[in-house]
Structure 1
């Protein structure tokens, strides 16, 4: 009887250990997984839009993929990764001819961006984050924005703007 219990415990610990190692790998490379798997197992979803004007508008039924107003409409190669169980988001796009106009820090709570993004993705550079970039709190959630050449990287960990 004790042997069976020990075997069951060992199997459970082994499954937990494998899950702890595999889940971060899956989250980094989930671009091609079915939406149902991403939604229910990883609690994340990714969408790509040719331009910012192709992204959904508020009220279109895809609220997690609505871009902040400061994303220029002529931005191209827009990629968004969003939590389905929270409000964290990664946004990457290429700037067009329209300049990026951020509103600044008004409404940002102190310390909201000491950490880098909580989401991870294979297309997100590892050196983006950890307090870098400019804050923007002109929307419902606080964003941190980093510009590298014509590439823009923005993330929110789901912190609400302070009103």
Structure 2
């Protein structure tokens, strides 16, 4: 009996399973960026300062308006389908004035569907809703580090650039 095809199949499945777990957590580089984009539909960027982040042209990597202008060491991981994003940054001299929702009742976002090696465990209990931008975020402040995520849910009362009410994202599971 020839076991060679079975061994090749098992080895292939092992390599693919390892890649599925390891690739999303490897440091960004051209290979992992390409695989994350194609396989996981996610892209990551790092900006040294808030001034380095785009203000237009790349909406997935533009910072929300509530991020202080002197924030640094900014990491963003964005889903290329839909509005889900993870953001981490370090506060400068400007303190974070705390997550706020002054335009209405925040929506229940559920749980995060994305992860990154730079995202700490156990933030859920300390997360508070932030609604001062187009999308509602869940924000956790740990000392000088701020962690924020959104699934693309519009903030209460949010409007698009043309003044229309912001629409909820299409849910993608996977």
The runs of 5 or more residues in structure 2 that have no matched partner are: 158-174
Question: Which residue of 1 is the match for residue 91 of structure 2?
Answer: 95
Matched, 1:122 2:122: no
Q: 1:62 aligns with which of 51, 58, 63?
A: 58
SS in 1 for 2:152: coil
- Report the TM-score when normalising by structure 2: 0.73
Q: Deviations over 1:51-87 (max 9, x none)?
A: 1121100x3x211000101100101111111111121
Q: Deviations over 1:6-29 (max 9, x none)?
A: x89xx5x98667645532321122
Q: Which residue of 2 aligns with 1:104?
A: 101
| Contact 1:107–1:138 under 8 Å retained in 2 | no
Q: Which residue of 1 aligns with 2:28?
A: 31
**8 Å CA contact 2:78, 2:85 repeated in 1:** yes
Query: Which SS does the other structure have where 1:46 is aligned?
Result: strand
Distance in 1 between residues matched to 2:17 and 2:132, nearest whole Å: 36
Cα RMSD after superposing both structures: 2.6
Unaligned runs of 5+ in 1: 1-6
Looking at structure 1, the residues matched to 120 and 135 of structure 2 have their Cα atoms a distance apart, in angstroms, of: 22
Q: State the aligned residue count.
A: 151
Match of 1:134 among 128, 132, 141: 128
1:134–1:145 CA contact under 8 A, matched in 2 = yes
Task: Map Cα deviations across residues 133-159 of structure 1 (whole Å, 9 max, x no partner).
Answer: 211012221101111111111111222
Alignment of 1:68-83 (within 5 A): 68-83=64-79
Change (3 A) 1:41 1:104: same
